Amino acid sequence: MLNQRIRELRQLRKMSQVELARRLGVTKQSVSNWENDNIQPSVEMLTKIAAVFAVSTDYLLGMEQGEYIDVSGLPREAVSHLRLLIEDLRTAGESRD
């Protein structure tokens, strides 16, 4: 599950393995090994990966289904705009189904 989540989040953000490795301070080979389920990142690295993708470690580990966006530090008005945008996107997705 972890390997799939890392790959999925990286690809959704159009980030290469090299870019993710750079942001985490590891080699591209480390990222490749995680995504191919050859090795697991350390607990410390898991928290760094979660921070880069703004998700919880529970989400990365498959214990939580929802993906969350960290809005801390944003003004209340900006958070309200984001909520409206998310609702609009959900409604648009429902009308396509």
pLDDT tens digits, one per residue of 11-33: 999 999 999 999 999 999 999 99
pLDDT value for 40: 96
Residue 87 has pLDDT above 90, yes or no: no
Q: Roughly what angle, to the nearest 10 degrees, separates helices 43-53 and 17-24?
A: 120
pLDDT value for 5: 95
Please report, for the domain that includes residue 51, its CATH number. 1.10.260.40
Percent of the chain clearing pLDDT 70 (strictly above): 94
Instruction: Dig out the tokens for 46 from the structure.
Output: 């898991």
Report the distance separating Cα 20 and Cα 3, nearest Å: 14
Are 81 and 45 in a shared domain?
A: no
pLDDT value for 97: 59
Report the distance separating Cα 83 and Cα 17, nearest Å: 31
What pTM did the predictor assign?
Answer: 0.70
**Mean predicted confidence (pLDDT) in 39-47:** 97
| Count of structural domains within the chain | 2
Are 25 and 55 in a shared domain?
A: yes
